[in-house]
Structure 1
């Protein structure tokens, strides 16, 4: 079988709750050669730095796929595979672009299902650009590049952590919960707590206990949660608690709440 070098489109889907949205996507199949198609949704995808993006992708081919490869390149380039790949499902990782190493993973490792969906973690501003899919079989001649590209546009982090406060009673132990934005399985964020009386600088609550927990929701999604436990008193009334979340690359976001003793 001769190598095919043609184009179609792939798509990127970004969300913080993958299972909820994936079934609601507008899906469309694009075929430029018989037997070689890709299913995707259209439009530029806007993602936020520090979080993650998923490229949901399904394909058909006339050969048995062995390797899934992703490239990134400029929009005017017809083929991205003139440069080093950013992901290769094979064992040889030597030619992967260093800035993508360890940040990309397939959602499904079973090649027979022809699922090329991939996650990009620890998003950086430099991840903005155009992405292209290539599939290869066992034989050198079995290869197909889908030339049309998906456009990923990165913006600054606007999502904030979620802080949960239970009913507060003076003299009783209380536990506050802070959940980091995103359900990404990349580098765990650093979550810190700060307390502030009105007109004073940040400090720590005396005698507090903190704990960080990572919940595995699926094989590729995680929830990162921090708890702050302390004995509540009148000194804490009308004071502020801030939960600060720091992602890879110095990207931070925070949420501040006011405590009221009942």
Structure 2
């Protein structure tokens, strides 16, 4: 039994030593982190991809950095959307023939700051892909592809409407992407009842997260709101996206004990 424990301990020690020799300490590994790993973008606007990275000493000096388009989990090194060569001062210089200089901008050209964040301008539907950041260094420490960041395209806000009953307050929600710090969204609510003009409504809560604006509208439904249209418009400067839904308000019934018959408390078409 004691002999088996010695063998087991030796095996574990050998594996640890082998691991240290192969990877060095933790600082020697490639590390790329995206926050968040999934970005919801709006066509026509920009999108911020927040990225940080480290690379092993053995890879220095770095020759160039690249952003690649990945399709079906495959990252094609020949399909670059950005390529920048690295100067002797560790600064990124654009290689204009191989990069979309008008659309892609790296926020930090100094590699020593380990910031690989970029702004993508004029987002299009075909930009809905996964993307990888690649560092090309020296010797066997050439590059890294994983992990990837994903861009999802959304061309209208998302509305959340719970079941509505006359006289019972409910919260309606409208969420909109916040992909571009240059153009924070503004959300406007409106409602159009049957035969009446559009009325603008004021929300009660707007929650701002790293990538979303969520507006909450408290609403106490009335009989006139059945089959009304409620909508939210989200403005990003000159760009506006909209969504609307039809309200369905259920009837409330009450018993009048003096007359001993069922009396309707609302007068909808479907009551």
TM range (shorter): 0.3 to 0.5
- Determine which structure has more spread, i.e. the larger CA radius of gyration: 2
TM-score, length-scaled by structure 1: 0.45
Query: Normalized per residue, which structure has more helix?
Result: 2
